[in-house]
């Protein structure tokens, strides 16, 4: 999907630091990312549990269109450190996306981020149980009904707006995640400075 809600931690000048470290030793940044992944494992697991708790709520709803074998099926989600220094001053981005290339979660997470299309036709898509290619449907408010259905079956303490699952859960965990990431960066900085000094001497 084109739209994204990212939970980010930014540090000024991080791109230059990553570039120089990669020139010096290409193993340093992957090792840093692995340490961040390990440190945030508990926090990311709590976000995953929120998404897992949503599954029975959606099963209670009628005509969700989620529970099938196609690519748009709901299959909960994985939550992981997406990348290091993927953009200006971006240290990490935490990404949640549907498991096993199923995109039901992605649709539900961002549903309502754009105004519903009325009177037009959808983008082309395919169905695994259909022999037709490039299917299009008339848009008569289905998007608004879909958003309403999602908002009527939210996990506890989540609000009815885009980012209704993972993003809101991650925002709640960010103070804990930031403390862990900052500690890792400080330790990594000290260790790397010692390593560079010893290698250059």
CB 74 within 8 A of CB 55: yes
Distance of CA 154 to the CA centre of its chain: 18
Residues found in the chain: 201
Tell me what pLDDT residue 136 has: 56
The answer to whether residue 186 sits within a structural domain is yes
Look at residue 87 and give its three-state secondary structure: coil
Q: How many domains does the chain have?
A: 1
CA angle at residue 29 from 27 to 32, to 5 degrees? 110
Tell me what pLDDT residue 192 has: 86
pTM here is 0.73
Where in the sequence is the domain holding 19, given as residue range(s)? 7-200
The answer to whether residue 167 sits within a structural domain is yes
Tell me what pLDDT residue 185 has: 87
CA angle at residue 168 from 164 to 174, to 5 degrees? 165
Neighbours of 144 (CB within 10 A): 16
Tell me what pLDDT residue 62 has: 80
The answer to whether residue 122 sits within a structural domain is yes
Query: Could you say which residues of the chain have pLDDT below 70?
Result: 1-14, 83-91, 115-142, 201
What are the Cα distances from residue 182, in Å, to 9, 88, 189?
10, 18, 10
The answer to whether residue 2 sits within a structural domain is no
Look at residue 194 and give its three-state secondary structure: helix
> What span, in angstroms and rounded, lies between the C-alpha atoms of 57 and 149?
11
């Amino acid at each position: 999907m084109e739209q994204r809600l990212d939970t980010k931690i930014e540090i000024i000048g991080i791109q230059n630091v990553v570039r120089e470290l990669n020139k010096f030793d290409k193993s340093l940044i992957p090792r840093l990312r692995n340490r961040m992944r390990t440190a945030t494992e508990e926090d990311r697991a709590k976000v995953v549990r929120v998404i897992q708790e949503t599954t029975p709520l959606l099963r209670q709803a009628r005509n969700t269109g989620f529970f099938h074998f196609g690519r748009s099926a709901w299959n909960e989600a994985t939550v992981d450190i997406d990348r290091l220094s993927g953009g200006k001053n971006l240290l990490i981005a935490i990404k949640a996306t549907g498991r096993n290339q199923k995109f039901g979660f992605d649709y539900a997470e961002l549903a309502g981020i754009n105004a519903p299309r009325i009177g037009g036709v959808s983008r082309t898509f395919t169905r695994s149980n259909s022999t037709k290619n490039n299917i299009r449907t008339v848009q008569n408010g289905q998007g608004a009904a879909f958003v309403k259905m999602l908002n009527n079956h939210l996990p506890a303490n989540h609000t009815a707006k885009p980012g209704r699952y993972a993003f809101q859960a991650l925002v709640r965990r960010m103070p804990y995640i930031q403390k862990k990431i900052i500690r890792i960066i400080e330790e990594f900085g000290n260790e790397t400075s010692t390593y560079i000094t010893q290698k250059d001497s």
